[in-house]
Amino acid sequence: MSNWIINQGLSAFILVVWMGINIFLFVYYYLFYDLGPQFEYTRELLGSALAWARAPAAVLNFNCMLILLPVCRNLLSLLRGSFIYFALLKQLDKNLTFHKLVAYMIALMTAVHTVAHLLNAEWYTNSFQGRYGPLASKLSMLGDSRELNTTYLNPFRSNSTTPTIFVFTTIAGLTGVVITLALILIITSSMEVIRRSYFEVFWYTHHLFIIFFAGLVFHGAGRIVRSQQVTNPPHNNSFCKDQPENWGKIPECPVPQFAGGFPQTWMWVIGPMIIYLCERLLRFIRYMQPVSYRKIVIRPSKVLELQLVKPGFKMEVGQYVFLNCPAISQLEWHPFTMTSAPEEDFFSVHIRSVGDWTEKLIKMVENLPEGGMAVDGPFGTASEDVFDYEVSMLVGAGIGVTPFASILKSIWYKFKDSDPKLRTKRIYFYWLCRETYAFEWFADLLQVLEKDMEERGMRDFLTYKLYLTGWDQSHVNHAMVHFDKDTDIITGLKQKTHYGRPNWDREFEQVRQENPSSVVGTFLCGPQALAKDLEKKCVRYSDVDPRKTTFYFNKENF
């Protein structure tokens, strides 16, 4: 239980606070409209349906304000750079999860809000047509006329207004339908199946959010939610409601006056809208910066290494950039983790051929590249924190090793310069891969590191284990024959390659034994199933006691 608190406690806390605010807003505004005296006559016409519509509206205001914030990646990057309490930073990893949660809440509240307003529209019509008794009819008959000094309560003003006509002739109705439609299209195209297979459909349809926010801001402009105003002399509701026919004729009951509520949604969303606009502007400005090719290498296993130079570009270890190649597609931006170290005067990415865009890119650079590239970023992810931990466990599966390549290179540079900022005392590096060709990329890097460590007598600093998960009989035969060679037959490194998947219990136990009373950060770039496994192990092998080892888990995902 206590281990769970260390690893998940803050996320749970934030969720509880968010849900608490939602519940508070819902209940507060429900009671405001259901009990407030200025809505007594409205309730005469609509019962509780107005409260049922306004309560989700308040929750919607709050969540529409929140939804834009987690996707401002430049803003989040700035926050990560500044000095904030260490544990809070881990929450920023879960920005997309939070975005989706807020989106679900918006969808749910939209449904409640819409159903309540359907009831409202119907009951307003019924009131106007006299189906609810004399008080309701009198209230509905109140016209909107300066000469007679009356203000209306019921937005349905004539017998021929059906709910459908009402919706399409009022600002609130029209914007409501349009933005609900936009929301539905956004949601259906964001389903995991569509998002993972056809990112373009998801991304382009998602831009309907512009229509959503525009409509949302104007949704209340018609001011059709009316509250009763104080008149002089005052209109005593409890006395006057039984005698609507005498209104305006006796001094105790002047004709009641109503006015529409001031639209408030814009006050909630204007801030985040401006922030998001700045975010997109920043992305555009970065897009316009010229990027030049320094070196292009095609590696085995259809992997492309691009070394690029951009003026004013500063990065940290394990960050990623978005690349855009106008020659292939004007609007597509794809994320790639950088594989170079900040100490180098260029930045590099290793790109694997997995889909249309990457295939076309590799084909394009095989002949000389005809177009330029645009780069947005860098953006920070969890790997930035790796030097803050005394001990780090780095796990990379296949191409997921890329952020760690950046880290290892940076270590090498920091080592050479004896950088005092390096808090790390030990690093354990686990690389899981299916095919042997994949080792070639970084075999030279690891060889250089290995030699360097030995020369400086710091063999313990970096412990790395390579796991070949796609081994077969030929590997076994080969290994058996060359068992006694000093270096590994596949990589040429002194550390032997392991076959099969790692036994994580043993690994965690070993790290715990070799590093008592340390804080260990575990970093993974790999599949979801492995993330769950490692997270469980972190919780299991952690100890609340600060004199014993504690494990923290960080995950990257694209």
Partner 1 sequence: MGKIEWAMWANEQALAAGLIYATGGIVGVAGQFRGWQFAAFGIAAGVFVCLLEYPRSKRGKGTSVERTGQYCFTVCVKAFGPLTRNYYVRAFLHAALCVPGGFMLATVLGCVCLGIASLIYLSAAIHGEHWEPILPRTEPPKRVGNSIKEPPQNPPPRPPPELRRKKADKLETAAYDNPMSVTINE
Question: What per-residue string of b and e applies to 227-240 under the rule 16 or more CB within 10 Å gives b?
Answer: bbeeeeeebeeeeb
Q: How far is the CB of 476 from partner 1 (least distance, A)?
A: 11
Q: Which is nearer to partner 1, 5 or 184 (CB)?
A: 184
Least distance to partner 1, CB of residue 411, Å: 25
Among candidates 349, 444, 360, which has minimal Cα distance to 399? 349
Rounded to the nearest whole angstrom, what is the least distance from the CB of residue 362 to partner 1 in the complex?
16
Least distance CB 330 / partner 1 (angstroms): 12
Closer by beta carbon to partner 1, 198 or else 558: 198
Q: Return all residues near 439 (Cβ < 8 A) that are at least 6 apart.
A: 433, 466, 490, 491
Least Å distance, CB 29 to partner 1, is 22
The span from the CA of 492 to the CA of 347, in Å, is 27
CB of 164 to partner 1, least distance (A): 5
* Residue with Cβ nearer partner 1 (167 or 255): 167
Q: What is the largest CA-CA distance in the chain?
A: 111
Q: Which is nearer to partner 1, 15 or 185 (CB)?
A: 185
Distances (CA, A) of 152 to 92, 123, 224, 330, 359: 49, 16, 10, 53, 64
Q: Which is nearer to partner 1, 35 or 327 (CB)?
A: 327
Name the minimum Å distance from CB 477 to partner 1.
7
CA distance 303 to 437: 10
Judged by beta carbon, residue 58 or residue 186, the one nearer partner 1 is 186
Name which of 297 and 481 has its Cβ closer to partner 1. 481
The CA-CA-CA angle for residues 302, 308, 312, to 5°, reads 150
Q: Distance between CA atoms of 316 and 378, rounded to whole angstroms?
A: 8
Nearest CB to partner 1, comparing residues 352 and 360: 360
| Shortest reach from residue 488's CB to partner 1, in Å | 13
CA distance 404 to 307: 17
| Least Cβ distance, residue 380 to partner 1 (angstroms) | 29
- As beta bridge partners, residue 555 has 524
Which of 92, 468 has the CB closer to partner 1? 468
* Min CB(318)–partner 1 separation in Å: 29
Question: Minimum Å distance from CB 328 to partner 1?
Answer: 11
* C-beta of 200 vs 545, nearer to partner 1: 200
What is the smallest separation between the CB atom of 166 and partner 1, expressed in angstroms? 8
Q: How far apart are CA 254 and CA 238, in angstroms?
A: 13
Torsion angles phi and psi, residue 193, rounded to 5 = -60, -45
Query: Which residues, 6 or more positions from 556, have their beta carbon under 8 angstroms from its beta carbon?
Result: 318, 337, 381, 382, 383, 400, 403, 523, 524, 525
Rounded to whole angstroms, the Cα distance separating 252 from 372 reads 79
Q: Is 352 helix (H, G, I), strand (E, B) or coil?
A: strand
Nearest CA among 532, 420, 431, 543 for reference residue 491 = 431
Q: Which is nearer to partner 1, 232 or 473 (CB)?
A: 473
Please give the single-letter amino acid code of residue 369.
P
**Which tokens hold the place of 297?**
């290498």
CB nearer partner 1, residue 107 or residue 282: 107
The answer to whether 297 and 305 have CB atoms below 8 angstroms apart is yes
CB closer to partner 1 out of 122 and 452: 122
Minimum distance between the CB of residue 188 and partner 1, rounded to whole angstroms? 4
SS3 content of the chain, % helix, strand, coil (to 5): 55, 15, 30
Residues in contact with 131: Cβ distance below 8 Å, sequence separation at least 6, in sequence order: none
Residue 477 CA, distance from chain mean position: 48
Query: In the complex with partner 1, which residue's Cβ is closer, 17 or 191?
Result: 191
Least distance to partner 1, CB of residue 187, Å: 7
> How far apart are alpha carbons 544 and 232 in whole angstroms?
68
Query: Residue numbers of the site for partner 1 (CB under 8 A)?
Result: 111, 114-115, 118-119, 121-122, 125, 162-164, 167, 177, 180-181, 184-185, 187-189, 191, 193-194, 197-201, 204, 355-356, 477, 480-481, 483, 496
Integer Cα distance of 74 and 90 in angstroms: 16
| CA–CA distance, 396 with 400 (Å, rounded to integer) | 5
Q: How far apart are CA 150 and CA 397, in angstroms?
A: 73
Q: How would you list the strands of the sheet with 498-499, edge to edge? A: 498-499, 462-468, 426-433, 391-397, 519-525, 550-556
